[in-house]
Structure 1
Amino acid sequence: MTVLTTLALLFASIAALLHGVFFVLESVLFRRPAGRRLFGVRAEHDSPPLRLFAVNQGVYNLALAIVVALGVVLQATAGNATDLAIAGLALTIAGCSVMVVAGAALALTAPPRLLAAALAQALPPLLAVVLLLVGR
């Protein structure tokens, strides 16, 4: 495994971990006042209709985290030219690419206070994709 691939898998792992954290924030902690405040929902009566969207978004993030984590594991454990390594590369690039698009959408549509969140969502997977493509 090359240094670039190793770095790419590190960034992909960070992206997967972050998206796992996003799942917890959106699907678990949104029920609590502090969790709602994190997303700008102040009033308790606004929570039930928004909770459906938050839980659903959290599950999407968990699914992306699982796809990327599986891709990383396949690449890290399979030989370079095996079918499993190629499948891992495809999973990692596809999952990370969706993360980048979602982060870009957040950056373009959310208030400026969420720019740091958008960068946290998009930058690690973007670096992973670039390094995987350059390292090949």
Structure 2
Amino acid sequence: MIIAAQIFATAAALLHIYIFSMESLTWTTAKTRSVFKTSEAEAEATREMAFNQGFYNLFLAIASIAGVIALGLGHMAVGATLVFAGTGSMLAAALVLALGSPGKAKLAIKQGVLPFLAIALLILGLVLGN
């Protein structure tokens, strides 16, 4: 279960690195605007906010990857803590998105499913000892 949790935590981290790239690097492009359903004017007006928000996603990804590495090296307490912190924050952000912007529920589900699975599998792995 812990290995499966590591796989989902890594997938969640990779997704959040992609989100970082969209928010911080390509926010005003047509492709990214279509993903986030924003107009050109909205993208320009929120450019600085999105740039900052993208880095939050990157830092959550880094924490999750650091946790996956720590787990792989046998440091269960540190690794689990980092994976729970990183993916738990990702899942919480997805819930905030879904509740705060119901029109973006599909994006929230895409953002939250991988962290949810990582958390659930890590809990099972820790409880069951595998």
TM range (shorter): 0.7 to 0.9
TM-score by length of 1: 0.84
Residue of structure 1 equivalent to 2:109: 119
Residue of structure 1 equivalent to 2:69: 73
Query: For residues 67 and 31 of structure 2, what CA distance do their matches in structure 1 show?
Result: 34
Query: For residues 99 and 93 of structure 2, what CA distance do their matches in structure 1 show?
Result: 10
Gaps of 5+ in 1: none
Query: For residues 47 and 122 of structure 1, what CA distance do their matches in structure 2 show?
Result: 23
1:86: Cα distance to partner?
A: 1.6
Match of 1:57 among 53, 57, 72: 53
Gaps of 5+ in 2: none
Query: For residues 57 and 32 of structure 2, what CA distance do their matches in structure 1 show?
Result: 16
Matches within 5 A, 1:1-136: 4-44=1-41, 46-76=42-72, 78-79=73-74, 84-112=75-103, 114-136=104-126
User: Which of 1 and 2 has greater Rg?
Assistant: 1
Query: For residues 95 and 87 of structure 1, what CA distance do their matches in structure 2 show?
Result: 12
How many equivalent pairs are there? 126
Task: Give yes or no for contact 2:20–2:55 (8 Å, CA) kept in 1.
Answer: yes
For each residue in 1:65-85, what CA deviation from the matched residue of structure 2 results, as whole angstroms up to 9, or x when unmatched? 001011101111x12xxxx33
Identity rate, percent:
36
- The list of structure 1 runs, each at least 4 consecutive aligned residues, that deviate by more than 6 angstroms after superposition, is none
Aligned alpha-carbon RMSD (Å): 1.5
Which stretch of the first structure deviates more once superposed, 31-40 or 5-14? 31-40
Task: Give yes or no for contact 2:13–2:62 (8 Å, CA) kept in 1.
Answer: yes
TM-score by length of 2: 0.88
1:98: Cα distance to partner?
A: 0.6
Query: For residues 109 and 37 of structure 2, what CA distance do their matches in structure 1 show?
Result: 19
Q: Call closer, same or farther: CA 1:134–1:36 in 2, change over 3 Å.
A: same
